[in-house]
Amino acid sequence: MKIQFLGAAGEVTGSRHSVEVMVAGARRRFMVDYGMFQGGREATNKNVEPLPFLAAELDFVVLTHAHIDHSGLLPRLCAQGFKGPIYCTSATYELLKILLPDSAYLQRSDVDRAERKQKLGKWHGDMPVALYSREEVEVTLLQFETLEYGQSLELAPGLVLEFHNAGHILGSAIAVMDITEDNQKKKRCVFSGDIGMKGKVLMPDPDLIAQADVVVVESTYGDRLHRDLQATQDELVEVICSTMAAHGNIVMPAFAVGRTQEILFLLIDLVKKGRLPHLNIWVDSPMATAATHLTQHFFSQLDSQSQDTFKWFKANPQAVDLRFIADVEESKALNKIKGGAIIISASGMCDAGRIIHHLASNLPHEKNAIIITGFQAYGSLGRRLVDRAKKVRLFGEEVLVNASIHTIGGLSAHADQAGLLEWLQGFDVAPQTIFVVHGEPESSSVLAQCIRESLGWRNVIIPERLHTYEC
C-alpha cells in the first residue's frame, strides 16, 4: 500500500491523500478528501497545479467532512476527468449542496470584481482565479453516495469503508478503511479527518477507534491547549459587554458551517444564564443561514445541552433579536449601524464574501471589536489581523486597523493537543505507522514528539507534500 500526501502536509489546508493498493489482481487508487488550499497566492498556485496522475485513474473518493479545505476542489477534480463515486455521510452531502455552489459563486464574484477594478486602474496585486463553475458543481453533486455512521460498505473487492463520528461539525467522520491486498493480511487504515473537542458545544464527543495499522491524524492545534469552556465564556462576556458599553459593533468572522451555529448557541446560552443582556445579532451569510436551518433538520445529532438551549430560545424568542440577512442590500445596510450590533459573517478566514465589507467598515474605529473564532491560515487576511497588522488591504485599498482584535481559541472545532492525544489513546495497541498531517510545521512537530514521548509510539512520520510512503 502506498500513500501520497498531496496537501495538508506541513500546512493546515488542502487535505488530499492518495492511496494506491493491489487488490483482487487489480491496482486501485482512491483519494481521502480533496480540499482547497487557502491563504494567499501560494495557495492559488497549489490549487491550479496538475495532479501527479490522471484524475480518471481514481476509482473513488472518500470525504471526511464538508469544510472547503477538505472538499473544495472536488468540482475541479471531476471536471478534469474523475467519474467515480464520492462517499460521505448524508449530513455532509446536504452541507455540500450549500457549500460548493457558494464556493463557485464567490470565486466568480471575486474575479468579476477584480476585472472591473482593473479596467478602472483601481486594482493592485494578484488577480483571483475561478477554479470551477456552478455548472461543474452541479455535475459533481451527482457523483455522491452516502453512508451513515457505523455502516460498513465494500467499495471494491478487498476495500471496506466505515464512518465514525468525528465530533467536528455536522456530518464529520473518521474514515476507517479495511484493506486486504493480494497475498497480504488485512490492514486497517484510519483517517481522522478533523477531530472535534471533547465536551464542546453542539457536537458529541469524537468516537474512539480500537484498532488500526496505519493512522493519519490531524494536528491543527497539536502544539497548544485550548482554554476551557468556562474561560472562553468569560472572555466572550468581557469583550461583548465592554464593546456594547462603548457603543461599538462586534464583527465575528465565522465559518458558515459549524462555527456560526456554535457561536449562536453560546450567545443564546449566555443570555439564558443572565450573563449577557438582550443582544442584537445579525447573521450575514446566506450559506450560514442555510447551514443553520440544516442543523435544525439534523437536530437529533446535536448534544443534549444544545438541544435544550435551542428549545429554550424557541420558547423565549424575545431574549435575543436574531436576524438572518437575505439579500445584498440588507447586508450593505448593516455597515450603516454605528453601534450595538453583533455581525456574524463568512468567510471564517476573512478571505472572501461579505465579511470583507464589514471589516472595511468597522476596522477603522477604535470602539469596535473583531472577535476571531477559528484557525487562520498563513497568508489569510484573518491571520494578518491575528498577527496585529496595523493596516490591511481590502478591495485594493489600505484600511487602518484601529478596532480591537480578540482571538478566542476555546471556540475551535478542532481538538487541542490533549484532545488529540486522548483520541489516539483510544487505540488498544500502537498502530504500526502514524502520519501527522493538517498542521503548520511547529504544530505537527510538537504533536509528533508528544506521541513518541507520551504514548511511546515510535514510527511517527510528518509527511512531506507530494512524497509517497509505503505501509
Q: What is the dihedral of CA 410, 334, 387, 417, to 10 degrees?
A: 20
Cβ pair 139, 78 in contact under 8 A: yes
Domain boundary, last residue among 360, 378, 411: 411
Integer Cα distance of 131 and 35 in angstroms? 12
Query: pTM here?
Result: 0.86
Nearest alpha carbon to residue 387 among 369, 366, 367, 401: 401
DSSP string, 44-70: HHHHHSPPSS-GGG--EEE-----HHH
Integer Cα distance of 285 and 283 in angstroms? 6
Which residue is it, cell 501520497? 4
C-alpha cell at 442: 511547529
Domain boundary, last residue among 411, 426, 457: 411
Interhelix angle 90-119/286-297, nearest 10 degrees: 180
C-alpha cell at 313: 430560545
Integer Cα distance of 406 and 236 in angstroms? 9
Distance of CA 269 to the CA centre of its chain: 24
Report CA torsion sign: 33, 36, 37, 42. Answer: positive
Examine the pLDDT at 102 and tell me if it is beyond 90: no
Integer Cα distance of 42 and 196 in angstroms? 28
One-letter amino acid at 194 equals: D
Mean pLDDT of the chain: 93
Examine the pLDDT at 297 and tell me if it is beyond 90: no
pLDDT at 145: 98
Pick the residue with more confidence: 469 or 408?
Answer: 469
Examine the pLDDT at 81 and tell me if it is beyond 90: yes
Examine the pLDDT at 405 and tell me if it is beyond 90: yes
Q: Which H helix or E strand runs over 76? A: helix 74-79
Distance of CA 151 to the CA centre of its chain: 24
DSSP code of 201? S
**Could you give the number of structural domains in the chain?**
2
Within a 10 A sphere around the Cβ of 55, how many other Cβ atoms? 18
Integer Cα distance of 114 and 128 in angstroms? 7
Within a 10 A sphere around the Cβ of 97, how many other Cβ atoms? 16
C-alpha cell at 147: 453512508
Integer Cα distance of 90 and 149 in angstroms? 10
Q: Which H helix or E strand runs over 424? A: helix 417-424
Do 382 and 465 lie in one domain? The reply is: no
At 369, is the pLDDT very low, low, confident or very high (cuts 50, 70, 90)?
very high
DSSP code of 303? -
Is residue 458 packed enough to be buried (19+ CB in 10 Å), middle (13-18) or exposed (0-12)?
exposed
At 412, is the pLDDT very low, low, confident or very high (cuts 50, 70, 90)?
confident
Do 75 and 209 lie in one domain? The reply is: yes
pLDDT at 177: 98
Question: What is the CATH classification number for the domain harbouring 48?
Answer: 3.60.15.10
How far lies 410's CA from each of 198, 226, 271, 366, in Å? 12, 5, 19, 25
Q: Which H helix or E strand runs over 109? A: helix 90-119
Do 199 and 242 lie in one domain? The reply is: no
Chain segment 255-279, per-residue pLDDT in tens? 877 888 889 989 999 999 999 999 9
At 215, is the pLDDT very low, low, confident or very high (cuts 50, 70, 90)?
very high
Residues paired with 446 in a beta bridge: none
Is residue 219 packed enough to be buried (19+ CB in 10 Å), middle (13-18) or exposed (0-12)?
buried
Structural domain of 312: 229-411
Q: Determine the 3-state secondary structure of 425 from DSSP.
A: coil
Strands 187-191 and 173-179 come out as antiparallel
Cβ pair 92, 66 in contact under 8 A: yes
Chain segment 182-192, per-residue pLDDT in tens? 989 999 999 99
Do 332 and 219 lie in one domain? The reply is: no
Do 167 and 113 lie in one domain? The reply is: yes
Do 106 and 42 lie in one domain? The reply is: yes
Chain segment 372-387, per-residue pLDDT in tens? 988 787 888 989 999 9
Strands 404-407 and 86-88 come out as unpaired
Chain segment 154-208, per-residue pLDDT in tens? 999 999 999 999 999 999 999 999 999 998 999 999 999 999 998 887 888 999 9
Domain boundary, last residue among 387, 411, 435: 411
Do 398 and 300 lie in one domain? The reply is: yes
Peptide bond into 285 cis (omega under 30): no
Do 201 and 248 lie in one domain? The reply is: no
Examine the pLDDT at 371 and tell me if it is beyond 80: yes
Chain segment 216-250, per-residue pLDDT in tens? 999 999 999 988 888 889 999 999 999 999 999 99
Question: What is the mean pLDDT of the segment spanning 396-406?
Answer: 93
Nearest alpha carbon to residue 66 among 23, 34, 114, 104: 34
Do 197 and 264 lie in one domain? The reply is: no
Q: Determine the 3-state secondary structure of 394 from DSSP.
A: strand
441's torsion region: left (phi>0), alpha (psi -120 to 50) or beta?
alpha
Do 150 and 92 lie in one domain? The reply is: yes
Do 140 and 192 lie in one domain? The reply is: yes
Examine the pLDDT at 115 and tell me if it is beyond 80: yes
Do 156 and 238 lie in one domain? The reply is: no
Sheet containing 2-7: give its strands across. Answer: 144-146, 86-88, 60-62, 26-34, 16-23, 2-7, 468-470
pLDDT at 305: 83
- Please state the φ and ψ torsions of residue 468, each to the nearest 5 degrees: -110, 135
How far lies 194's CA from each of 87, 168, 393, 439, in Å? 17, 6, 31, 11
Question: What is the CATH classification number for the domain harbouring 378?
Answer: 3.40.50.10890
